[in-house]
Chain A
Amino acid sequence: MQKIEELMYKRASEMLESGEVDRVIAWKKGETCYDVSPATFTKDNLEGFVYDAFCGANLSKYLVEESKKGGKILVFLKPCDTYSFNQLLSEHRIKRENVYVIGIECQGKIDANKLQKKGIDGILSVEEKGDKLTVKTLYGDKEIAFEEALSVKCETCKSKEFAVSDETIVLNEMRDNREKRFEAVERLEKMTEEERYAFWQAELSKCIRCNACRNVCPACTCTHCVFDNDKSGIAGKANADSFEEKLFHIIRSYHVAGRCTDCGECSRVCPQNIPLHLINRKYIKDMNEFYGEYQAGAAVTALNPIVDFTKEDVEAATVVGGKK
């Protein structure tokens, strides 16, 4: 990763220097090891430029606002982020001509939260050694396998290909875990209705309606969200009833269905660690099964299955039942 970071830094400073781009969107070091933040860099200020295993954030959504500001922007996108970028292009949310995309190698990102769940608290620093992580903590050094600290979204990484890029920085073969993509959804599908109900009831009861999932989502770029719109009939700032927990997540996922690229940001940012990606992924799985394989963002011109149809589509009754 170190090497990749150096190459990225080099390209960023070159392009800024030569005036090819005016701004760079990448990640910036935080106060500790894991608190990196997305940031824009300019010619005079590349301080804190970082690319490491904690740089999980998907930068594509920032381009919606950033590409409006004029000037050319260099953005670094991991393979999964390129799909979001493409999807945004197809929705006319980004001015392509204002953006230069460098696809960068990603070997999976790690999540500090995962470390804490595994009992590693008081984290001071994390060092990568092969497939192991050495964690310095307030309570002594700990070691954990890289795999075990893998961010939820990377556990089922869907692609190592870049859907779009102007150039790439890749040194090592990347890997994906696409075969595992629908395992969790399938597990839920196999449960009884009662079990699934209990599962979601418990998960969603944690929802605090902070809207982090929505605000981070590259598919949620509405100027004015229905949930903020008092006229929509479903506006709400809090889940005043357990119904609203479900309403929010069902409708949100429906609104991004066919546009969700499965980037996993919703689950990454959820402060309550609700597996929100499992909702979106259910739509993806259903669409794949009912209407043929479709990957949002794989192509700019592809027709999203939810606005498409064929005369031979399956009936709801066939796929859901619905009749006793």
Chain B
Amino acid sequence: MIKIKVSLLDDLYKKIAETYPLYLPVEVAGEVNYGKYNSDSKVRLDVLKTVKSPKDAFFPQSENLVKFKVDGQKIEVIDVREEAKPFVVMGVRACDYKAFDVLDRVFLVDPLDTYYQTKREAGIVITAACGRPDETCFCTVFGIDPTDPKGDVTTWLVDGYLYWRANTAKGEELTKAVSSLAEETDGKAVDKQKEEVKKILKKLPNADIKPEVFDENMLDLFHDKKWQKLSEACLGCGTCTFVCPTCQCFDIKEFITNDGVNRFRCWDSCMYKDFTKTAGGQPRPTQMQRFRQRFMHKLVYYPKNNGGLYSCVGCGRCVKKCPQHLNIVKVIKAFGGDDNE
């Protein structure tokens, strides 16, 4: 394990950015999101939760798929994919890292999503351990250890140092590139932080929720009357899905440019009333149905298809960001509560 002085972090970013495009939490207009590093970037590795998750790095909110160039009555199809060059995503929290796993099981199975695959393979992930979880966190519920995330490199921010541990060959390579800024360390400070954080984790208000209540009979869950009440304040906005690190639905759209058509995909939200709308109409016409779909998918359908893996990682972003404070925790608690209700 090595450590790098916090005062040298700018040099570290620059060093990495020399070789790779670097994506990490940066502050723009008061909010911290993943962004591409440049010398003006206000990097905020200290911030626990970026508003959007880092899933953009592999599954961008909008992404061109193909272009049709139109010249008079001639149409030419242009592949817009560029050769994948390695890039670095830094500061990924344990929950968000786990979310990549959830996405992989969607995009990297047959039919293979080559757009995702290319980026996933080219991406080098530097994770960041959590030093100060907040009340919305509940990753431990899903067996995630926020104090020791995986990834190509794991980092800890402790007492003015960034502790750095390479986990993979890719990680080792990166370590070499930055070694001039680093000093060797035994990592005891990291262990100490881990212990402190673990104490806090036990105190988290949502640490004891039980998603297992969703292992029950699928149809019973589906027809449960509670959904109506749970969803009644839902605005049908896409906030929860867009801040969620595991939501993976997208729509394919076209944009007419001045010389042709761009076909692109962009995130979609199952909360939207035009989600998967077809000529025959909307399969889930009511907001209750759409609301139910999201949670049933996260807690029932996905796990059933993926060996019990929930497609929620407990990042708590929806808990924090839902305009009307509806969220997965309330849903799980509602189903785990009084059965007579």
Contact = CB atoms under 8 A, between A and B. Distances in A.
A222 to B, nearest CB: 12
A210 interface: yes
Contacts of B238: 208-212
Given A203-B29, A212-B237, A273-B31, A237 B329 contact: no
A39 interface: yes
A138 B135 CA distance: 7
Interface string A232-247: 0000111110000000
A77 interface: no
A139 interface: yes
Contact of A31 (B31, B132, B205): B205
B325 interface: yes
B52 interface: yes
Contacts of B253: 236-237
Given A31-B333, A57-B324, A238-B62, A121 B237 contact: no
B323 A273 contact: no
Given A30-B325, A35-B319, A211-B238, A205 B51 contact: no
A237 B252 CA distance: 10
Interface stretch (A10-18, A166-174, A264-272): A264-272
A39 B233 contact: yes
A36 B325 CA distance: 6
B206 interface: yes
B26 to A, nearest CB: 11
Contacts of A32: 135, 205
Interface in B287-324: 319, 321, 323-324
A4 B237 CA distance: 31
Contact of A39 (B232, B269, B327): B232
Interface string B223-261: 000000100110111110111000000010101000000
B239 A210 contact: yes
Nearest to A202: B29
A216 B235 contact: yes
B330 A31 contact: yes
B29 A35 contact: no
B176 interface: no
Contacts of B243: 208, 210, 271
Given A211-B238, A216-B323, A272-B51, A37 B233 contact: yes
Interface string A131-153: 00000011100000000000000
Which secondary structure dominates chain A's binding surface? loop
B324 A138 contact: no
Nearest to A272: B31
B31 A37 contact: no
B128 to A, nearest CB: 16
B99 interface: no
A221 interface: no
Contacts of B329: 31
A121 B266 contact: no
B51 A271 contact: yes
A243 to B, nearest CB: 11
Contact of A208 (B61, B268, B273): B61
A277 B272 CA distance: 23
- In this complex, the interface size class of chain A, counting residues with CB under 8 Å from chain B, is 35 or more
Most chain B CB atoms below 10 A, which of A122, A212, A238 = A238
Interface in A98-121: 116-117, 121
Contact of B134 (A34, A36, A138): A138
A123 B31 contact: no
Contacts of B266: 237-238, 240
B264 interface: yes
B296 to A, nearest CB: 20
Contacts of A205: 28-29
B204 interface: yes
A206 B29 contact: yes
Interface string B133-151: 1110000000000000000
Contacts of B233: 37-39, 57, 62
A138 B326 CA distance: 22
Contacts of B33: 206, 272
Contacts of B241: 210
Nearest to A238: B266
Contact of B51 (A121, A206, A216): A206
A138 B29 contact: no
Interface string A48-86: 000000000100001000000000000000000000000
Given A31-B206, A237-B266, A212 B48 contact: no
Given A209-B61, A214-B237, 11 more contacts: A32-B205, A39-B232, A39-B233, A57-B324, A208-B243, A209-B242, A212-B235, A215-B237, A238-B62, A268-B323, A271-B239
28 contacts: A32-B205, A34-B325, A35-B319, A37-B233, A38-B324, A40-B232, A116-B134, A121-B48, A121-B134, A122-B133, A122-B134, A124-B205, A138-B133, A138-B134, A205-B28, A208-B238, A208-B239, A209-B61, A209-B242, A237-B266, A238-B62, A238-B267, A239-B62, A269-B239, A271-B239, A271-B243, A271-B323, A274-B29
- Please provide the 6 A-B residue pairs with the shortest distance between their CB atoms, ordered closest to farther: A269-B323, A238-B266, A35-B325, A212-B237, A215-B235, A238-B62
